[in-house]
Chain A
Amino acid sequence: MTTVTNKNNKRLEILKTYKIYIDGQFVRTESGRYYIATNSKKENLANVCLGSRKDFRDAVVAARNAFGSWSTRAAFNRAQILYRIAEMLEGRKAQFIDELIKQDSTKTQAEKEVNLCIDRLIYYSGWCDKFQQLFSSVNPVASPHFNFSVPEPMGVIAAIAPQNNSLLGLVSVIAPIIAGGNSCIVLASATMPLCAVTFAEVLNSSDLPGGVVNILTGKVAELVSYFSDHMDVNATVYCEADFATQKMIKEKSALNIKRVLLYNKIKWTDASGQSPYFIMDLQEIKTTWHPIENIGGAKAGY
């Protein structure tokens, strides 16, 4: 058998198709559009999907469908799945480091970023079944009722991931969303999208149900208004400092009283880039009242 080689007498490399991730499937954008991701050396890295409004709307449907079972899943199970995501990332470290280097990181920086991502996932894995205890309360009401307040996931979250720290930012935004039982649609860094798509592959092999995390690639300026005015999205997360965009997000979010979280001042590389308060940002507090029957035992004491 003869080995077929190309003209340089080397094995021909298989190039990866970078697709978007909706409902657990790797699909091309329905729009058929693409853009070329480049680095500072002007090298073409990949043809990346230029996601559209329709892609976003499809992703919202998927996220809403996934929300029911993800939010009611045992917190312990969510913890194991986040842990599994970290495991998968650990196993594929080399690929991520390689992509980060292509996207202008140094080797040291890239290694550091990937390690931090893995550790951050482990951190949030641990929180999955603990933050509720920390932020719940039994309320000593003055009437004969048992009354308690617990955090519950907010619903479908539309997040625009940090444009810098393309992997760490993405992971730092997604982890608290899903640790808290929400589902989401995340727009990856437009300039450095490679890791985001590869991270979707990690999610896909981590027992995370399809639709819980949907990752789109595309332009912030084009998609941000759809992220903010969709009527079936419960909250919008935006991580950049652009004032006009922040204002627009807040205005459009008023349409259905979306909660708006602005994370432009967070240093994702620091310890302050992780905390249970990021989980709580996307929780609602539910208070439940139960009467205490006071008939038979009304006079009984200790």
Chain B
Amino acid sequence: MAKLVKNNTIKLKFDSVKNFAPAPESKKAAKIDPQYDLFINGKFERPMSKKYFSTINPATEEKLSMIAEANTADVNKAVKAARTAYDKTWKKMPTAERAKYIYRIARMIQERAREFAIIETLDGGKPIRESRDFDVPTAANHFFYYAGWADKLEYAFPNRKTTPLGVAGQIIPWNFPLLMAAWKIAPALACGNTVVLKPAENTSLTALKLAEIIQEADVPPGVVNIITGAGVTGAAIVNHADINKIAFTGSTDVGKIIQRAIAGTNKKATLELGGKAANIIFEDAPLDQAVEGVINGIFFNQGHVCCAGSRLYVQESVFNEVVRKLKDRLETLIVGDPMDKNTDIGAINSKAQLDIINKYIKIGLQEGAEMYQSSCAMPKKGFYCRPTLFTNVAQSNRIAQEEIFGPVLAIQSFRTDDEVIEKANNTAYGLSAGVWSDKGSKIFNLTSKLRAGVIWANTFNKFDPTSPFGGYKESGYGREGGLHGLSAYINLV
């Protein structure tokens, strides 16, 4: 038997982090109205439903505002506005002019970035550092990127001309509210479509702030309509006869319902659904970097990320070392007030989602997996979950198969390249994957054999407007971002 070689990596010292003084961002730098109406045809209008629902701050459970609930009549009105704007204005507008409107939106988001970041964090519970450094700038960049495509579409598809699809119905999730709105609206407008967008009911505020910007930018009325509500409102959009395209980001279950609902129509669809990404660490990987990547992969945005690296595969020879490093690192993560600039892990987006996560933690224990949770201090109010690792996980365990959408990592070991490729691909999903190794040829072998739409090698959870994002298999179809993201909003002629 080979003698176990004691590795020479040292334990990184993070001890001092727990002594950081609070550094909260100011709530006052952003204005939240007590009530928000529907943004239809360039105006904020009271809902015909006459109903409003409250939206809360998941970090404190305090009410932030009241949001209008759109019913079928409101959806009809929004679609009609979008259709009229499409026929009379937007599709006829010179493409270079179209581009300039979209550029304006990008610039105005940049100007009001701080306000957007604060509201995003208050409404959704994500750390202010993430909304400030990732969500808001990436959303602005997305508009800026696609603005430039508007008058260049004839270069995008060899030997074909493009026409817009018409009115796009867009339904987005609660995990990246503003960014998902940008991913949906920017390419749709650039390609000449008009849109009716519905944010998730828990996180409507930044989309409504975006509506203010769209109004301020003087975008022709009806080109962008933003209506709020829950699943019923979404269903009314999906089933509306005058919508040409459905773009949906959300759960695989709802994606399947949408595919069935539009089966008897000519509506086109792009679906960006769930995931259960494998993150693979080989023994030759730079382990400290890999551990950072794994932490980022699963704990970014509290794990509310469809492409989160929620399955970790570690090569057997470094398994114990990696798990030890992960536990050490876990202890240093600061869970708490999302508005604090020191916070690593903010609030779980809603009570309902916290219940789902806790249900899966229970399932993991019942299935015989071994749990490790950070011993960090936890806030007394609000929805929070300790960062959680599971070892002793079997491939067939539900925590290794199903999307949890929370800060819960399932860790397994492997011996050979072939074994880990098979394990990683043994899932109904195919959104993303990660590989950690110092050997280039091995990385390329893995990145070409993993059946997923986005592969990160020696990095994780990186996004860019120029970089197409989207899944294989049950993670959905269509791409968002980059040249390939244009296909979702055009007909080829």
Residues of A within 8 A of B (CB): 72, 134, 137, 139-143, 145, 147, 149, 152, 154-155, 234, 243, 247-248, 250-251, 253-257, 259, 275-277, 284-291
For A243, the closest partner residue in chain B by CB is: B264
**Contacting residues of chain B (460-493) with chain A, CB-CB under 8 angstroms:** 462, 464, 466-470, 472-477, 479, 482-484, 492
- Residue B263 CB within 8 A of the other chain: yes
**Contact A285-B479, Cβ < 8 Å, known A139-B467, A149-B484:** yes
> Which of these, B453, B457, B475, contacts A285 with CB under 8 Å?
B453
With A137-B482, A139-B483, A255-B256 given, name 11 new contacts (CB 8 A). Answer: A72-B448, A142-B141, A145-B462, A250-B262, A257-B252, A257-B475, A285-B484, A286-B453, A286-B454, A288-B454, A290-B457
The interface residues of chain A lying within 8 Å CB-to-CB of B271 are 257
For B263, the closest partner residue in chain A by CB is: A250
For B492, the closest partner residue in chain A by CB is: A277
For A275, the closest partner residue in chain B by CB is: B159
Is B457 touching A149 in the complex (CB atoms < 8 A)?
no
- Residue B447 CB within 8 A of the other chain: yes
Would you give the shortest CB distance from A155 to chain B, in whole angstroms?
8
The interface residues of chain A lying within 8 Å CB-to-CB of B467 are 139, 141, 147, 149, 287, 289
Distance, CA A250 to CA B464, complexed state (A): 32
The interface residues of chain A lying within 8 Å CB-to-CB of B470 are 285
The interface residues of chain B lying within 8 Å CB-to-CB of A291 are 457-459
Per-residue interface assignment for chain B, residues 248 to 279, with 1 indicating a CB less than 8 Å from any chain A CB and 0 otherwise: 00001001110110111000000101000000
Is B458 touching A290 in the complex (CB atoms < 8 A)?
yes
- Residue B456 CB within 8 A of the other chain: yes
For A251, the closest partner residue in chain B by CB is: B263
- Residue B246 CB within 8 A of the other chain: no
Would you give the shortest CB distance from B272 to chain A, in whole angstroms?
11
**Contacting residues of chain B (143-161) with chain A, CB-CB under 8 angstroms:** 158-160
Is A247 touching B473 in the complex (CB atoms < 8 A)?
no
For B482, the closest partner residue in chain A by CB is: A139
Distance, CA A152 to CA B492, complexed state (A): 21
> Which of these, A248, A257, A276, A289, contacts B456 with CB under 8 Å?
A289
- Residue B428 CB within 8 A of the other chain: yes
**30 A/B residue pairs, CB under 8 Å, sorted by A:** A137-B468, A139-B464, A140-B466, A141-B462, A142-B466, A147-B464, A147-B466, A149-B482, A247-B263, A250-B260, A251-B259, A251-B263, A254-B260, A254-B263, A255-B256, A256-B473, A256-B474, A257-B259, A257-B474, A285-B484, A286-B453, A286-B454, A287-B455, A287-B467, A287-B468, A288-B456, A289-B456, A290-B458, A290-B459, A291-B458
Distance, CA A247 to CA B263, complexed state (A): 5
- Residue B452 CB within 8 A of the other chain: yes
Is B483 touching A137 in the complex (CB atoms < 8 A)?
yes
Would you give the shortest CB distance from A68 to chain B, in whole angstroms?
9
**Contact A134-B453, Cβ < 8 Å, known A143-B462, A247-B263, A254-B256:** no
For A249, the closest partner residue in chain B by CB is: B263
Is B255 touching A257 in the complex (CB atoms < 8 A)?
yes
The interface residues of chain B lying within 8 Å CB-to-CB of A290 are 443, 457-459
The interface residues of chain A lying within 8 Å CB-to-CB of B255 are 257
For B429, the closest partner residue in chain A by CB is: A257
Residues of B within 8 A of A (CB): 141, 158-160, 252, 255-257, 259-260, 262-264, 271, 273, 428, 443, 447-449, 451-459, 462, 464, 466-470, 472-477, 479, 482-484, 492
Would you give the shortest CB distance from B44 to chain A, in whole angstroms?
34
The interface residues of chain A lying within 8 Å CB-to-CB of B477 are 257, 259
Would you give the shortest CB distance from B402 to chain A, in whole angstroms?
15
Distance, CA A145 to CA B452, complexed state (A): 19
The interface residues of chain B lying within 8 Å CB-to-CB of A251 are 259-260, 263
The interface residues of chain B lying within 8 Å CB-to-CB of A137 are 468, 482-484
Is A139 touching B457 in the complex (CB atoms < 8 A)?
no
Is A289 touching B453 in the complex (CB atoms < 8 A)?
no
The interface residues of chain B lying within 8 Å CB-to-CB of A72 are 448-449
**Contact A289-B457, Cβ < 8 Å, known A247-B264, A255-B256:** yes
The interface residues of chain A lying within 8 Å CB-to-CB of B482 are 137, 139, 149, 287
Would you give the shortest CB distance from B452 to chain A, in whole angstroms?
7
Would you give the shortest CB distance from A185 to chain B, in whole angstroms?
18
The interface residues of chain B lying within 8 Å CB-to-CB of A255 are 256
> Which of these, A134, A145, A149, A155, contacts B468 with CB under 8 Å?
A149
Would you give the shortest CB distance from A273 to chain B, in whole angstroms?
15
> Which of these, B263, B473, B483, B492, contacts A234 with CB under 8 Å?
B473
Distance, CA A250 to CA B261, complexed state (A): 9
Would you give the shortest CB distance from A261 to chain B, in whole angstroms?
11
Which of B252, B452, B473 has the most chain A CB atoms closer than 10 A to its own CB? B473
**Contact A285-B473, Cβ < 8 Å, known A137-B484, A291-B458:** no
Distance, CA A142 to CA B137, complexed state (A): 12
Distance, CA A137 to CA B428, complexed state (A): 27
Would you give the shortest CB distance from B121 to chain A, in whole angstroms?
23
Would you give the shortest CB distance from A152 to chain B, in whole angstroms?
8
Distance, CA A287 to CA B450, complexed state (A): 11
For A148, the closest partner residue in chain B by CB is: B467
Is A250 touching B457 in the complex (CB atoms < 8 A)?
no
The interface residues of chain B lying within 8 Å CB-to-CB of A142 are 141, 464, 466
Distance, CA A290 to CA B440, complexed state (A): 10
The interface residues of chain B lying within 8 Å CB-to-CB of A257 are 252, 255-256, 259, 271, 273, 473-477
**Contact A284-B453, Cβ < 8 Å, known A137-B482, A247-B264, A277-B160:** yes
Would you give the shortest CB distance from A245 to chain B, in whole angstroms?
11
Is A288 touching B263 in the complex (CB atoms < 8 A)?
no
Would you give the shortest CB distance from A289 to chain B, in whole angstroms?
5
The interface residues of chain B lying within 8 Å CB-to-CB of A243 are 264
For B257, the closest partner residue in chain A by CB is: A254
